Chains A and B, each alone.
Chain A
Amino acid sequence: MAKRQDDEKQLIDSAKKDIANFKPLYERYVKVLFRYCYYRVGRNKEQAEDIVSETFVRAIDNFKKFKYKNKPFIVWLYTIAHNLVIDYYREKSPSISLDSLPFEVKDETDEIVDKLSKEELKEQIQDKTSDLPGEINHLFTLKHTEGLTFAEIGKLIGKTEGAVKMQYYRGLEQLKYLLNS
């Protein structure tokens, strides 16, 4: 990990000296960013493509402003992409509001979910993720697509590890509620 960070620091320094050296950074992160965007916009490939393009163009434009302080470059890219995703959802019809979902689901919901096979459950989750509130989808994407720990997510979104954890498990309950609706 440390080596990767060292590599990354070298790449950033090199690009800082000459923006023509930005390309290796782009190559390193384009796939990861695409995957992140894909899940964030409800698995809409075209929309993900647009957001990835715009994220990199903005990153190149603003690269001078980026300061490497042990904060991984990808986190900076996520932040730009996250803002674009928010713009996307603002234009799109709103997804279900966080407040409209119950905090805890009823036993019947658990029973119904319990009866679904693994494959059915996976399919239904795929169907429902675009209906999830943006924040929850963001958490799920970071946790499962990017494999970040709660602490890392906390750093990224400016919350404590405990708060992230709580929001994550609340998100799980809400997902179950959506599966049953």
Chain B
Amino acid sequence: MNAKKHDKINAKVEKALHDSYRADVAMDKTFKKNLDKLIDNSIQAQKLQDQAVALKQTKKPRNKGYFSLLFRSFKLQGAFLGSFLVLLIFGGIAFASVPQLREIIKPTSGTLTVQTQVEGAEVFLEGGDYSTQTSIGITPLEKKLKAGQFTMVIRLDSYEDYKTNFTLEAGKSANFDIALKKEDQVIERITEWKTYKDVQEGIEFTYPLSWEFKKQDYHSTSEDDSIAYSSYFLTGNKSELLIYKHHSVIDDFESEEFSIDENTYLGFRDYKEWSYVSKDTITSEQGTNSYKIAFFTKKKNEFEIYDFILEGIKVYDVQKDDTQENWTQFKQVEFGFTLKYPQDWIIVEEEKTDYYVEYEVKPFDNDTEPLRIIYAEGYFEEYTSFTTLKDTVTINGIDATHFYDEETDRHLYVLPCRLFIVYSYNEELDDTFSSILNTFTITKEDIWQTVSDYTWGFEISTPSDWTYEMKVDGDFEIEHGSVTNGTEIIRIYNWDDVQDTWDSYHESLLISEATNRVREVRIGESIYARYEEWSFENNNYFLERIIYIKDTLETDPYISIGEKNFVIIIENTIEPVINPESLPESSEQTLLLFDAIVSSLKPASD
């Protein structure tokens, strides 16, 4: 490094040093008062001592013996003794008090000073005279308080709350000089999101999984409709979101513009416990459907979450086709769908088990390939034969993934909630098929849910009583996505995190002398394998683990979802069996359910 740069750095350090030593140091007022008293007492004591010395010098007997001193006039002796006693009393007190004056004065209060590097933070205290958390001012702050124990919280927008307990002693000061920590962007702290879609009401939105969700139906005043509309309540720690159609009291408040960072919102400030209320309205494309949105928050930075949610709210036109008025309505209550079909058509239940049901919809007197509606709670095996991904389509407002099987010239629509529609193109019937599909609704949206993990960039559908969270346990003892219903756990590992240990893990599986079985499954858009590892003990086979892999365990066995790669492992599941090739129906169903969940993995939608 050259000398010029060295000097420049030294100058920089010296400037910082200067600033650091020049910071103003406030002397505690209580201390100053006590010190004033100490100085007064010390001066008084010194003065008395000086007087006593002076007196002694003035009255010093000249050429007189010690004896004669004893017999000096009573007046002189009295004055000397008097001064001596005063000196003893005041001086004694002052000397004794020199270092511990505070004990003599016995104050009952102390001083709290709080400074924050960014000024303007609000200071809250609980304890002493404050029975509940109370705001006592804004930094920089100096406040005299009755001695006691306190809990202090310092709050500033965009900074993390600072909380501490302290004891304030009488006559002393408690001084805090705090560097508040800047909050991370709140949006980045939320990694799990959930998408809710209500096709009948024509609304879709995505919200943090940790927020509480409540749907409420509002009855109209008209007698024709039992339910007029639904409203949705989302509750987080510091904010609430209301997506609604009913009349709310906040509709009566006059709105005005306010700005957060660089964005402008319409709403009002300081309503009940909320610092901000923002209002919006979203209307469907053709204007037949509209929702009001109200966001209530205590913290300014929660608007990041609001912006994200707002962007994801979609309001659809709810279609009502008059030409289908005379059609027959079919309701499948158990598996949650309805459709309408022409009166000269029929619906036939082709197959039904506890977890699989298939209906054929076709003209009464026509033997052509029918429209098939399938509900498969477990994995829908036929899925794998549809190898070509065509596109994403909307069937009566429901997003569906469209696949095609070139060999049989059939189309497959994969709908949410484990519903599938299969049909072959038929020139004669195609319009009717389309019209039927336009009446299709899902009535049990809550059977399955879709959870998005934006950190790892995927979304996954699970039965609604399953949960998704990040955990650390299982074979690898590292962070992974855990999909569970409390009994069964599907662990989703990021390949980047396990690839270094994969070889040794794979070896340990080989040592276990397990019998393996591999089945083909579709995950997202590609075909992968379900690898089952069975061990044999006491005439029983135990399914040790299931691993969803590319094709082999050996090298780079990962599954690709979007741009990221994953390995999915399920351990210790289903009861032991005598023959793994012939599972009891309940076990088969469990495995199909795993396939169904895993196969729903796809890149998170924006």
Contacts and interface: CB of A to CB of B under 8 A. Distances in A.
Contacts of B22: 144-145
B19 A122 contact: yes
B17 A57 contact: no
Given A34-B27, A49-B31, A172-B17, A110 B1 contact: yes
A118 B32 contact: no
Given A34-B27, A39-B21, A144-B18, A113 B39 contact: no
Contacts of A57: 38, 42, 98-99
Given A49-B31, A56-B35, A113-B12, A175 B17 contact: yes
B173 A45 contact: yes
Interface stretch (A22-30, A66-74, A93-101): A22-30
B98 A172 contact: no
Contacts of B25: 34-35, 38-39, 45
Interface in A19-73: 19-20, 22-23, 26, 30-31, 34-35, 38-39, 45-46, 49-50, 52-54, 56-57, 60-61, 63
Interface residues of A, number: 46
A52 B32 CA distance: 10
Contacts of B46: 19, 60-61, 63
A123 interface: yes
A53 B38 contact: yes
B27 A31 contact: yes
Interface string A112-132: 011000100111011001000
Contacts of A107: 1
A97 B164 CA distance: 35
B32 to A, nearest CB: 7
Interface string A139-173: 01101110000000000000000000000010010
B172 interface: yes
A179 B17 CA distance: 12
A19 B12 contact: no
B126 interface: no
Contacts of A114: 5, 9, 12
**Size bracket of the B interface:** 35 or more
B138 interface: no
A20 B49 CA distance: 12
B105 to A, nearest CB: 13
Interface in B12-26: 12-23, 25
27 contacts: A20-B43, A22-B39, A30-B27, A30-B35, A38-B25, A39-B21, A45-B25, A45-B173, A46-B172, A49-B28, A49-B35, A50-B99, A53-B98, A56-B39, A61-B42, A110-B9, A111-B1, A113-B9, A114-B9, A118-B16, A122-B16, A125-B17, A126-B20, A129-B20, A144-B22, A145-B22, A176-B13
Given A56-B38, A60-B42, A121-B16, 5 more contacts: A30-B32, A125-B20, A143-B21, A144-B17, A172-B13
Instruction: Identify the 7 closest CB pairs spanning chains A and B, nearest first.
Output: A144-B21, A121-B16, A107-B1, A125-B20, A60-B42, A122-B16, A144-B18
